[in-house]
Amino acid sequence: MNTTPDIYACAGKPSWIYSDIVKDHFFKPRNLLIDEEHYEADGIGIVGSPACGDMMVVWIRIDDTTQQISECKWRTFGCASAIASTSMMSVMATENGGMTLKHAKRLTPEAILERLGGLPEKKYHCSVLGHQALREAILDYENKQ
């Protein structure tokens, strides 16, 4: 499989400036929630605005015993960078048994960007929205306790 993107496919202009990891998470997003009506979350975080572009919703389930994120579901309305960033954030939050709430609150946009292999500078805000939505979901869970 060729992992080098064909960045000059149309009239000599770049057609895809994203890493293979970003492409993978965009075309095959992880932990995407389609039907939230039947999903019982412990915390919900919503950030962004549909009026200005990207909007993210994150639903989390918490293991009460370990205080780790056992599930992190999401839906993003936005561009490829926003979708890939939220997908990667959800993987990071749940891998290896799940992040503790304390650790998840400290997840940074830079950590998400690093795992994605980077994003164009003008798309940095997409990783910020992902970590903000996760924090909002954690705060929602904590406020319910």
Report pLDDT digits (tens) over 8-51. 444 555 555 788 999 999 999 999 998 888 999 999 999 986 66
CATH of 20-144, one of 3.40.640.10, 2.60.40.1730, 3.90.1010.10, 3.40.50.300: 3.90.1010.10
Please confirm, yes or no, whether 52 is among the known catalytic residues: yes
97-115 tens-digit pLDDT = 999 999 999 999 999 999 9
Diameter of the chain measured on Cα atoms: 57
Look up the pTM and report it: 0.84
pLDDT at position 16: 55
Kindly state the tokens that stand for 10: 């149309």
Amino acid at 96: N
Q: Residue ranges of the domains in the chain? A: 20-144
Please confirm, yes or no, whether 10 is among the known catalytic residues: no
**Which of 10, 52, 72, 79 is flagged as catalytic?**
52
Report the alpha-carbon distance of residue 57 to residue 99 in Å, rounded: 19
Q: Is the pLDDT confidence value at 6 over 70?
A: no
**Which of 10, 72, 79, 126 is flagged as catalytic?**
126
Report the alpha-carbon distance of residue 56 to residue 11 in Å, rounded: 34
